């Protein structure tokens, strides 16, 4: 009997991780028999079981937590504690018909197998699994199997744009690129915005920023589905700028004639008005004519700018008008026809704006230049990735989709070297369409063999649409794709909330049922792309059973607060001001700082709370309670003052510290060129005079002429100037001890980042600082486990977490409306515009805006509004369901409130009056119900950072540095040829031609292996040796050199010669360096002959020769031999 594909719709707090761990252990511990039932595996079967199960999560943190949970549950089953049956024990024993002791025996064996074969314990992120598959198919995708992963899509967008702009500056850009750039810059000038695209501002208003955002939108899977079609179009359509110009002319042509007629009539009317005097009608004529002349021919007049309501025909027959006309008949007989002519032409002009062709073209033309630049920036990005042997992480799904077909699963498994029998996919609502399509063949193959699989998630918690998440997969598409899917979680009996108190659960059950029903009723049913009522069909959950003896006196508490003000900004400020008092109230009832979480939508909202807590703490004084808080922003490594100081000093060193040369009168003036250097010098001066107050330190520093050269002094004391050594030196020299203690975790994290950076990237200061600004600056330290501090985090970061008390200070949002100031791209097929004999692009990008209403693309706009509403709804749900005991929600209202806003919906649900500002459900706990677990071991933290100018791991002793000057010194009795040889071998490892000697010697000097003086001696020694006639030809670049590369062959272990030269005539020459005496010549000869034999055995070379080069003795020995060594 085949097993099911289980689709588990697990609502918040229903034990998703519990269920996934249980299912994993079920597949691991049991095996399906021929009759369809399952039994416990034997030990040999356990050995083969682990590698055939794959659990997929979406973050590295979730991966670690899942592995830990599975091991903990298996350990509990293997070693059950007396008096309590561990999780899963009763269910497994009942299902399998075995005793607890038998199950525990197998679990002990399974635990040992898992720990011994931990690398086969496959719990992986979906990106990691796809990368594994992609590397397996590197050949099919034309990739080098040693490619690197580029994670930063934003940086790649910048690379493409900057390379395009560089071509313009160097006059290498094509005419089409110049055409599009000129259009963008002209638009910027016309709108009064920052039009210079070469000014790379990221303030959101510059053309460069918008260009960056447009390229960033290419990460959307909608674009990737049509990219090939667009690229084909670009290749066969080189005249895209001409198509744009012709379309613009064609669609705007109907506006020109009425516009010209309106302007002509307005000019004649104003000319007539010059000596006409003034009355109510004349003033209106004059004002309307002036407004008409201010119109731009291709732009709809704005209501607040140049539009006006023309006089109607009846107005010309009114008593007041006739009286004025009678008083000045000559003027009105001439002016009235001109006014009628002007307004009639104006009405015709405005009517053209509503024509289908113009409305559609107005949608298309805005982003048309970005489409034109698209092919160029994509090519530049591709060139960068190829040059750096990299693959963009976001492209993994696209690459795999090209090589994975519906029937390719057996072939994929053959290449992977293993077959996966069971898939368990966590957070399935966050899976994208392309990810699902890539997994589909593997999952289908597993099901075809009768194996069970699990998909678990919750469409209500899908808040990653910006990462291409498709909640419709778990909502209905999977059930349409597969027959016989076993679904769980739709009924309340399958959906118990084990997290939150009953009052919180019942509030969420009722509110979200009410809200989604209202949204479904209010949305346009015939065009709605989301059925909110169906999406939240399983929102009602059972409450957890109340434990016997529970004397907390409450079953949960929910409080709704609505702050009203004339302006919404003032209402938000008032909410923020209330937060410290709320924290103190919760503390007064026994909660701790760490029990409280503030969940926000944006980083800006989080910063507002942090600033308020900081302000409160500064005013609390020494006797008041200070609020301890922690946030993502406060955990950023770059936020540390010590790290900022290190970076500033590195930048100063990178620019150079040479004093400014002054002449004449300027020579007598005091001052230095670099303000950062002044600050560095003052810090050192202050450290040397701790007995003085800050004002006294500053006064004495200035009086001394501020001539301390702290950076130069630090560098002179350093024995190595590698980047990690510089960080250590700066920390020791410029950061006070107290500051080092306070910022120890941040300094340690920064040094870790530096060390990791230096492993695979250029280690000069300039390269590091550039990398830091684009990527390193985003790094954060991990939040210490068990830290007692109020949590301030975004709702996205809170997903999967729970807190005793949750505060949502900015819950107000509007539903079924487009968000202000935010748009997305939709790729649409062009409608209502066409050019005879011209092929238009198959797709055009349009901004989601109200301009789409009344066009062929109105449905896309309605779908966008539904998607945005779903995002807002799901974020509220995630936020509300994080609370365990108490939930506090704050909404804000201005003078006007949207009928479909959070505050209105909450009032309606709770049947409160329209002016009600505080509503509650349940009773707040008088004493905190949180049960404290006694920590088995204290949490370890970095409490100090000890720094030295030259750390121990970079320090060397001068007397231990080998002396390498000339051949004679090698013959001294006290010399150590082995030590000397190791150092010289290290140098020669990177010498391909004689020109490489300096760089290779500099490397070992920077590593602290030799002093600067010894480095000069080594360089001179090697240059003299490589210039000898006998060996010069080996280092002149005429042959391809391979240094320190292992030769695998025969039945013995790999051997690594010092140098192999692949000659132009097809031969190979092996060279082994010896820096000691030739007394051991016979042993060395056998070694080189082995190298020669192995190379000859490959049959790839026309001949192979081998030489020993005794460098110190200027002696070379030919070791070539045909006989087997």
Residues 13-31 pLDDT 10s: 999 999 999 999 999 999 9
pLDDT at residue 217, as a whole number: 79
Are 5-145+399-490 and 554-633+786-897 equal in CATH topology? yes
> Distance (Å, rounded) from C-alpha 682 to C-alpha 378?
49
Residue 913 region, left (φ>0) first, then alpha (ψ -120 to 50), else beta? beta
Instruction: Note whether 549 and 500 are within 8 A (CB).
Output: no
pLDDT band at 203 (very low <50, low <70, confident <90, very high): low
Q: Give pTM, 2 decimals.
A: 0.77
Output the pLDDT for position 924.
Answer: 93
Give residue-wise pLDDT tens across range 331-385: 999 999 999 999 999 999 999 999 999 999 999 999 999 998 888 888 888 888 8
Residue 945 banded pLDDT, cuts 50, 70, 90: low
- Whether 830 has a pLDDT exceeding 90, the answer reads yes
Query: Do the beta carbons of residue 31 and residue 38 sit within 8 Å?
Result: yes
289-311: average pLDDT: 76
Per-residue model confidence as pLDDT tens digits over 452-464: 999 999 999 999 9
Work out the average pLDDT over 514-531.
Answer: 81
Query: Do the Cβ atoms of 723 and 766 come closer than 8 Å?
Result: no
* Average pLDDT over every residue of 197-214: 73
Tens digit of each residue's pLDDT (9 = 90 or more) over 452-505 = 999 999 999 999 998 899 999 999 999 999 988 999 999 988 999 999 999 999
pLDDT bucket at 662, cuts 50 / 70 / 90? very low
- Whether the pLDDT of residue 89 is over 80: the answer is yes
Residue 958: the pLDDT is 39
How large is the average pLDDT for residues 1017-1026?
A: 90
pLDDT of residue 591: 95
CATH of 5-145+399-490, one of 3.40.50.150, 2.40.30.170, 3.40.50.300, 3.40.190.10: 3.40.50.300
What local confidence, expressed as pLDDT, does residue 687 receive? 62
Nearest to 207 by CA among 360, 366, 365: 366
Quick one: pLDDT at residue 500?
Answer: 95
1051 pLDDT above the threshold of 70: no
Lowest-confidence range among 313-322, 517-526, 959-968? Answer: 959-968
- pLDDT over 90 at 189, yes or no: no
Domain locations in the chain as residue ranges: 5-145+399-490, 148-219+363-387, 245-354, 554-633+786-897, 637-659+671-778, 1039-1125
For residue 973, name the pLDDT band (cuts at 50, 70, 90). very low
pLDDT band at 969 (very low <50, low <70, confident <90, very high): very low
Write the pLDDT tens digit of every residue in 602-637. 988 998 999 899 899 988 877 788 999 888 777 788
Q: Name which of 558-572, 720-734, 933-947 the model is least confident about.
A: 933-947
Of residues 90, 266, 241, 228, the one with CA closest to residue 174: 241
Q: What is the mean pLDDT of residues 280-303?
A: 84
Task: Give yes or no for residue 717 having a pLDDT over 90.
Answer: no
Higher pLDDT, 401 or 534: 534
Q: Phi and psi for 124 in degrees, rounded to 5?
A: -135, 155
- Between residues 420 and 933, the one the model is more confident about: 420
pLDDT at 876 over 90: yes
Beta carbons of 874 and 463 less than 8 angstroms apart? yes
pLDDT bucket at 201, cuts 50 / 70 / 90: low
Give the model's confidence band at 658: pLDDT under 50 very low, under 70 low, under 90 confident, else very high: very low
Question: Which pLDDT belongs to residue 303?
Answer: 52
Residue 805 is predicted with a pLDDT of 97
Give the pLDDT confidence of 242-255 residue by residue, as tens digits.
999 999 999 999 99
Between 500 and 197, where is the model more confident?
500
Is 80 exceeded by the pLDDT of residue 1053? no
In this prediction, residue 522 has a pLDDT band, given cuts at 50, 70 and 90, of confident
What's residue 1125's pLDDT? 37
What is the pLDDT confidence band of residue 1122, given thresholds at 50, 70 and 90? very low
C-alpha 849/C-alpha 865 separation (Å) is 10
Residue 495's alpha-carbon distances to 16, 476, 490, 542, in angstroms, are 10, 18, 7, 6
- The yes-or-no verdict on residue 132 having pLDDT over 70 is yes
Whether the pLDDT of residue 965 is over 70: the answer is no
Q: Is 691 strand, coil or helix?
A: coil
CATH number attached to the domain at 554-633+786-897: 3.40.50.300
Q: Quick one: CA dihedral 965, 966, 969, 971, positive or negative?
A: positive
**pLDDT above 80 for 416:** no
pLDDT number for residue 505:
96
- pLDDT at position 525 is 55
| Residue 303 burial (10 A CB sphere; 0-12, 13-18, 19+) | exposed
Name the percent of the chain lying above pLDDT 70: 85
Specify the pLDDT at position 272: 92
Question: What is the rounded distance in angstroms from the CA atom of residue 1098 to the CA atom of residue 761?
Answer: 35
For 1118, list phi and psi in degrees, rounded to 5. Answer: -80, 120
Residue 902: the pLDDT is 95
> Are 539 and 506 in contact, with CB atoms under 8 Å apart?
no
- Residue 685 confidence (pLDDT) above 60: yes
Three-state SS string over 161-174 comes to HHHHHHHHHCCCCC
CB 573 within 8 A of CB 892: no
Residue 415 has pLDDT above 80, yes or no: no
* Mean pLDDT, residues 769-778 taken together: 83
Bridge partners of 155?
Answer: none
- When mean pLDDT is compared across 484-498, 875-889, 982-996, the lowest value belongs to 982-996
pLDDT given at position 949: 60
- On whether the CB atoms of residues 1112 and 967 are closer than 8 A, the answer is yes
Average pLDDT over the chain, rounded to whole? 84
- Kindly tell me if the per-residue pLDDT of 215 is higher than 50: yes
Q: Give kind and range of the element (H or E) at residue 107.
A: helix 100-116
- Transcribe 893-917 into DSSP letters: E-SS--TTBHHHHHHHHTT--TT--
Segment 735-763, tens digit of pLDDT: 888 888 888 888 988 999 998 888 777 77
* DSSP secondary structure code for residue 1067 in this structure: -
The predicted pLDDT at position 1065 comes to 87
Averaged pLDDT for residues 911-935: 87
pLDDT for 663: 45
Fold of domain 1039-1125: Lambda Exonuclease; Chain A (3.90.320)
21 and 391 Cβ atoms separated by less than 8 Å: no
- The whole-number average pLDDT for the span 257-286 is 92
Most confident of 236-240, 576-580, 968-972, 1015-1019: 576-580
What was the pLDDT predicted at 527? Answer: 61
């Amino acid at each position: 009997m085949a097993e099911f594909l289980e689709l588990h719709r697990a609502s918040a707090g229903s034990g998703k991780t519990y269920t996934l761990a249980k299912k994993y252990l079920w597949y691991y511990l049991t095996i399906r028999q021929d009759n369809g039932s399952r039994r416990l595996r034997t030990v040999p079967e356990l050995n083969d079981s682990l590698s055939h199960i794959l659990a997929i999560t979406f973050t590295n943190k979730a991966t670690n937590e899942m592995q830990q949970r599975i091991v903990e549950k298996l350990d509990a089953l293997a070693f059950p504690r007396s008096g309590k049956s561990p999780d899963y024990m009763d269910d497994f024993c009942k299902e399998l018909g075995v005793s607890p002791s038998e199950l525990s025996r197998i679990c002990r064996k399974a635990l040992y197998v898992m720990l011994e074969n931990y690398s086969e314990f496959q719990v992986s992120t979906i990106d990691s699994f796809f990368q594994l598959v992609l590397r397996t198919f590197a050949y099919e995708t034309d990739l080098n199997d040693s490619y690197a992963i580029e994670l930063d899509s934003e940086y790649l967008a910048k690379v493409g744009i900057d390379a395009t702009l560089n071509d313009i500056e160097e006059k290498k850009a094509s005419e089409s690129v110049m055409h599009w750039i000129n259009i963008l810059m002209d638009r910027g000038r016309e709108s009064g915005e920052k039009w210079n695209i070469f000014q790379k501002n990221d303030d959101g208003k510059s053309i460069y920023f918008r260009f960056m955002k447009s390229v960033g939108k290419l990460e959307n899977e909608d674009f990737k589905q049509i990219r090939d079609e667009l690229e084909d179009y670009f290749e066969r359509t080189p005249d895209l700028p001409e198509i744009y110009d012709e379309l613009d002319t064609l669609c705007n042509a109907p506006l020109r004639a009425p516009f010209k007629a309106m302007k002509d009539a307005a000019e004649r009317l104003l000319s007539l008005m010059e000596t006409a005097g003034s009355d109510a009608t004349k003033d209106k004529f004059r004002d309307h004519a002036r407004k008409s002349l201010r119109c731009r021919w291709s732009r709809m007049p704005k209501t607040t700018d140049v539009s006006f309501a023309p006089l109607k025909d009846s107005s010309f027959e009114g008593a007041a008008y006739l009286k004025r006309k009678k008083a000045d008949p000559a003027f009105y007989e001439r002016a009235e026809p001109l006014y009628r002519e002007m307004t009639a032409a104006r009405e015709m002009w405005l009517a053209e704006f509503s024509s289908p062709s113009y409305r559609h073209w107005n949608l298309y033309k805005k982003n048309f230049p970005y489409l034109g630049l698209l092919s160029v920036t994509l090519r530049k990005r591709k060139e960068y990735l190829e040059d750096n042997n990299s693959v963009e992480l976001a492209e993994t799904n696209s690459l795999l989709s090209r090589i994975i077909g519906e029937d390719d699963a057996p072939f994929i498994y053959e290449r992977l070297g293993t077959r996966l029998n069971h898939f368990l996919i966590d957070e399935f609502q966050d899976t994208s369409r392309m990810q699902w399509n890539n997994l589909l063949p593997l999952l289908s193959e597993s099901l075809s063999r009768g194996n069970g699989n699990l998909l678990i998630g919750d469409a209500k918690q899908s808040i990653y649409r910006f990462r291409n998440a498709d909640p419709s997969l778990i909502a209905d598409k999977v059930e349409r794709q597969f027959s016989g899917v076993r679904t769980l979680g739709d009924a309340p009996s399958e959906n118990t909330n084990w997290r939150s108190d009953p009052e919180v659960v019942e509030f969420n059950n009722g509110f979200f049922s009410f809200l989604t029903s209202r949204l479904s009723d209010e949305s346009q049913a015939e065009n709605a792309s989301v059925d909110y009522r169906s999406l939240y069909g399983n929102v009602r959950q059972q409450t957890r059973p109340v434990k016997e003896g529970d004397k907390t006196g409450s079953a949960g508490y929910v409080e709704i607060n609505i702050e009203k003000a004339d302006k919404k900004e003032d209402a938000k400020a008032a909410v923020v001001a209330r937060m410290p008092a709320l924290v103190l109230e919760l503390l007064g009832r026994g909660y701790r700082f760490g029990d409280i979480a503030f969940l926000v939508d944006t980083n800006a909202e989080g910063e507002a709370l942090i600033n308020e807590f900081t302000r409160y703490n500064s005013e609390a004084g020494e006797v008041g309670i200070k609020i301890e808080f922690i946030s993502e922003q406060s955990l950023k490594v770059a936020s540390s003052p010590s790290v900022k100081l290190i970076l500033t000093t590195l930048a100063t060193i990178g620019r150079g510290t040479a004093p400014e040369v002054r002449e004449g009168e300027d020579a007598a003036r005091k001052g230095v060129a670099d303000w950062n250097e002044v600050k560095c010098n003052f810090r050192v001066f202050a450290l040397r005079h701790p007995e003085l107050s800050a004002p006294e330190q500053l006064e004495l520093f200035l009086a001394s002429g501020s001539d301390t050269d702290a950076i130069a002094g630090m560098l002179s004391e350093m024995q190595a100037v590698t980047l990690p050594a510089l960080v250590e030196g700066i920390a020791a020299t410029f950061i006070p001890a107290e500051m080092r203690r306070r910022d120890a975790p941040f300094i340690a994290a920064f040094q870790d980042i530096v060390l990791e950076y230096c492993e695979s990237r250029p280690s000069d200061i300039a390269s590091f600082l550039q990398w830091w600004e684009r990527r390193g600056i985003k790094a954060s330290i991990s939040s210490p486990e068990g830290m007692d501090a109020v949590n301030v985090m975004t709702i996205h970061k809170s997903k999967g977490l729970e807190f005793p008390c949750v505060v949502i200070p900015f819950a107000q949002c509007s539903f079924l409306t487009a968000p202000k100031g935010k748009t997305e791209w939709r790729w649409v097929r062009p409608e209502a515009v066409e050019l005879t004999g011209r092929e238009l692009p198959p797709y055009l990008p349009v901004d989601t805006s109200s301009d789409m209403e009344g066009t062929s693309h109105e449905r896309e706009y309605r779908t966008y509004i539904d998607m945005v509403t779903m995002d807002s709804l799901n974020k509220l749900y995630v936020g509300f369901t994080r609370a365990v005991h108490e939930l506090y929600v704050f909404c804000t209202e201005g003078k006007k409130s949207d009928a479909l806003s959070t505050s209105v919906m909450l009032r309606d649900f709770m049947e409160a009056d329209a002016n009600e500002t505080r509503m509650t459900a349940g009773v707040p706990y008088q004493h905190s119900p949180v049960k404290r677990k006694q920590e088995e071991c204290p949490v370890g933290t970095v409490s100090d950072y000890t720094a030295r100018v030259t750390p121990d791991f970079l320090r060397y002793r001068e007397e231990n540095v080998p002396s390498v000057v000339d051949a004679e010194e090698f013959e001294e009795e006290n010399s150590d040829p082995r030590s000397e040889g190791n150092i010289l071998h290290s140098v020669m490892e990177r010498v391909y031609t004689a020109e490489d000697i300096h760089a290779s010697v500099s490397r070992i000097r920077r590593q602290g292996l030799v002093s600067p003086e010894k480095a000069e001696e080594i360089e001179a020694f090697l240059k003299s040796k490589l210039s000898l006639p006998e060996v010069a030809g080996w280092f002149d670049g005429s042959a391809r050199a391979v240094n320190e590369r292992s030769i695998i062959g025969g039945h013995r272990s790999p051997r690594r010669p010092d140098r192999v030269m692949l000659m132009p005539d097809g031969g190979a020459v092996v060279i082994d360096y010896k820096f000691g005496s030739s007394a051991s010549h016979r042993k060395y000869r056998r070694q080189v002959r082995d190298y020669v034999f192995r190379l000859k055995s490959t049959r790839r070379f026309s001949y192979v020769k081998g030489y020993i080069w005794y460098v110190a003795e200027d002696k070379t020995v030919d070791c070539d031999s045909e006989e087997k060594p």
